[in-house]
A and B are shown apart, each in its own frame.
Chain A
Amino acid sequence: MSELIKDITTMSISYVLFWFVISILILYPKLSKRKIQKRINKLNQSNK
């Protein structure tokens, strides 16, 4: 593999990883909040 292809591969891995980290950090609180909120609603409904 030529150096240019290796350079592009290394750079792409880094770039994809960057967005992967950002996506996890954005999605984790959103999904967890939704899950907990559903549980809260269920608990509130069963209390009524």
Chain B
Amino acid sequence: MIHKFKKNHCILIISLSLLIINLFLIFGLTTFSRIVYVIFFYHVSAAWLSYFSFGVSLISHILYLKQKKMSWSNLGKNSIIVGVFFVAFTLITGSLWFNATSGTYNNIYWQWSDPRQTTTLILLLSYVAYLIFRNFIEEREKKAKLSAILGIVFFPTVPLSYLSAIIFTSLHPLINPGDPGDIYWDFIKMLSLFFNLIAITLLFVYLVRELNELDLVKQKLQELLQTKLEEGK
């Protein structure tokens, strides 16, 4: 238990240290024409983490349906919890960024006609619905099975959100490697972004492990309550 505790906390410390070191890298070494472009590092990192989380949840749900192990179902659910928080953050920062860069602060935060914004909102609402639905089912096996199916059904919203800006006409900027006019593409910026991606992925590992442990403690409590109830009868 102590070994487990130390290992998970090491992951957290490394992740947070990387995020803090990267802050100095971003402000010390990268240059932008406007300071607001710094949002780029956090917005992209959060978007990556949310896609990654939903990818992990898809694999976990498929594995649950194959092996019927409760730990896969819990991993799928916990990945979705982390993903939902980060996709919400991505949407908020995207809106703030849009307002800042679409003109000179015209208070335009949302464009329903923009496919990236709209499909990402659909993605967020789908997975929020998944969490609400999962919470409503009492029976453990039924809960795991139905939520696994729902998790798989909702996954296409992830590639849809990602590809929407590529396939359709979108206001969302895309990184063009090698383009000298691309304000996001240079070695230091990509290095900072890469640093952030590693840090945030490690954070994901820590968070999911902690949430899995919480599930185990909850299960222990339920078993104790069940025993007590049976003793009372």
Residues of A near any B CB (own CB < 8 A): 3-4, 6-8, 10-11, 13-15, 17-18, 21-22, 24-26, 29-30, 32-33, 36-37, 39-40, 43-44, 47
Contact of B96 among A8, A14, A22 (CB under 8 A): A14
B217 located at the interface, meaning its Cβ lies under 8 Å from any Cβ of chain A in the complex: yes
- Given the known A-B contacts A33-B214, A36-B218, are A10 and B36 also in contact in the complex, defined by CB atoms under 8 Å? yes
Q: B35 touching A8 by the CB < 8 A rule?
A: yes
Q: How far is the CA of A8 from the CA of B39 in the complex (A)?
A: 10
What chain B residues lie within 8 Å of A37 (beta carbons)? 217
Q: A10 touching B214 by the CB < 8 A rule?
A: no
B85 located at the interface, meaning its Cβ lies under 8 Å from any Cβ of chain A in the complex: yes
Q: How many residues of B contact A (CB 8 A)?
A: 36
Q: A40 touching B42 by the CB < 8 A rule?
A: no
Q: How far is the CA of A44 from the CA of B229 in the complex (A)?
A: 14
B14 located at the interface, meaning its Cβ lies under 8 Å from any Cβ of chain A in the complex: no
Nearest-Cβ distance from residue A44 to partner chain B, whole angstroms: 7
What chain B residues lie within 8 Å of A36 (beta carbons)? 214, 217-218, 221
What chain B residues lie within 8 Å of A44 (beta carbons)? 224
B58 located at the interface, meaning its Cβ lies under 8 Å from any Cβ of chain A in the complex: no
Q: B92 touching A26 by the CB < 8 A rule?
A: no
